[in-house]
Amino acid sequence: MLRYVLRRILMTIPTILIASAIVFLMLRFIPGDPAVLMAGEDPNPEVILALRRQWGLEEPLPVQYFVFLRNVVQGNLGISIRSGLPVLYEISLRLPHTMILSLVAMVLSTALGILVGIVSSTRPYSLVDNASMFFALIGVSAPAFWTGLMLMWLFAVKLGWLPAVGVGTPAHLVLPSVALTGFTTPVLARQTRSSMLEVLRQDFIRTARSKGLSERAIVYGHAVRNALIPVITVAGISFGRLLGGSIVTETVFAYPGIGKMLIDGIFARDYPMIQGAVLVYALIFTFLNLFVDMTYAYVDPRIHYE
């Protein structure tokens, strides 16, 4: 198992290299020049050229990429064009916020989604089932943007129970994470439900019933474990979508995470910032995939890695 994990970690290196190369190239080919944007309402061509030289943007592309890679290897993600501060410093200020938000949202949505899925599957086509699936449909269809604003309006403005924007206390986490769970919970609920329905039809469940085991023991002791594998896959993908969705949610709630930093950087064409943020996201995804794969081994003892 250990060898497998090490091998997977080594494989992240080419993945991240390719991802960063793609982003690097894309940034330089799309229209928009950071120096022009910085120049505001006084676009003096000499100043713009001087700025581009200062940021190393006048060098040939391969040289720029090489410089970027060399810096990354030394742990230097460059200096942000907009703020003049090191990108790594900016990321380190914001990453914890995003991670906490995503973690809380993921735990919430996993727990809730799986629970709802199990309950629905044990009472197929009942009122509970239909109601859950209906709300699941709404959750998936409503844009995170809208959900966030609606939650804010109800709980922060009308009722005044929770803070509307920003960070600082556990209360600030509630609305953004609920908004985020909006689309992952339904997905997990549906997947759990269909997995469970399939498992519950199997012969060994009938055997367990005929042995006289309680319904509860059968469902939670036997069925769930077997139904979990596709759910874990979906959960892994959902976490990815959650990290992406956090960009919108962070903007709506003025939550100072890495998603908002990425959006601001994109609009300002802050190349070092965008490259740094994408690198961090790529790392998170790769380790997330590894974690998901390891969870399979825990859940299903038949799966071995070497």
Partner 1 sequence: MTTTQKKSNLKYVGLGVAILIVLISAYYLSIPPPTPPKPTTTTPTTTRPPAAPTSLTISMGMEPPTLDPQKCTGMPNLGIIRLITETLTDADYKTGELIPHLAERWESTPDATTWTLYLKQGVKFHDGTPFNATAVKFTYERMMDPKVGGAVGGAYAMIQSVDIKDTYTVVIKTDPHPPFMRLWWYGPSAIVSPTQVKKLGDAEFTKVMAGTGPYKLVEHVRGSHIKLVANSDYWGGKPKIDTIIVKPITEAGARLMALEAGEVDFVYAVPPADIPRLEANPNIQMIYGIPTRAMHAPLNTQWGPLKEKKVRQALNYAVDKVTMNERLFKGRAQIMDAPINDRSFGYYKVGPYLYDPAKAKQLLAEAGYANGFEVNLRYGKGRWLMGDEVVEALQSYLAAVGVKVKIEGLEWAAYRAKEMLPFEKTDAQISFGGLGGVTLDADRSLNELTKAAWPPKGLEGMFYENAKFEELFFKARATADSEARKAYYKEAMQIVWEDAPRIFLYFEPQIYAARKTVQGVGVRHDETIWVKGATVQPKGASAASLFQLMPLLSKYLEY
The contact set with partner 1 (CB under 8 A) reads 30-33, 35-48, 50-51, 54, 79, 82-86, 90, 93-94, 96, 100, 103-104, 107, 148-149, 152-153, 156-157, 159-171, 217, 221-222, 251-254, 256-257, 260-261, 264, 267-269
Complex with partner 1: residue 190 or 269, whichever CB lies closer: 269
Alpha helix locations (H) across the chain? 2-29, 34-38, 45-54, 61-73, 87-122, 127-141, 144-151, 170-200, 203-211, 215-216, 224-252, 258-267, 271-299
CA distances from 224 to 206, 293, 301 (A): 15, 18, 14
> Which two three-digit tokens encode residue 68?
């970027």
Gap between the Cα atoms of 108 and 180, Å rounded? 10
Complex with partner 1: residue 149 or 294, whichever CB lies closer: 149
Q: CB of 280: closest distance to partner 1 in angstroms?
A: 15
CB half-sphere exposure, 89, CA atoms < 13 A:
7
Complex with partner 1: residue 13 or 47, whichever CB lies closer: 47
Complex with partner 1: residue 104 or 278, whichever CB lies closer: 104
Complex with partner 1: residue 20 or 80, whichever CB lies closer: 80
Q: CB of 148: closest distance to partner 1 in angstroms?
A: 8
> Which two three-digit tokens encode residue 162?
């929770």
Q: CB of 125: closest distance to partner 1 in angstroms?
A: 29
Q: CB of 38: closest distance to partner 1 in angstroms?
A: 5
> Which two three-digit tokens encode residue 284?
């998170």
Q: CB of 160: closest distance to partner 1 in angstroms?
A: 5
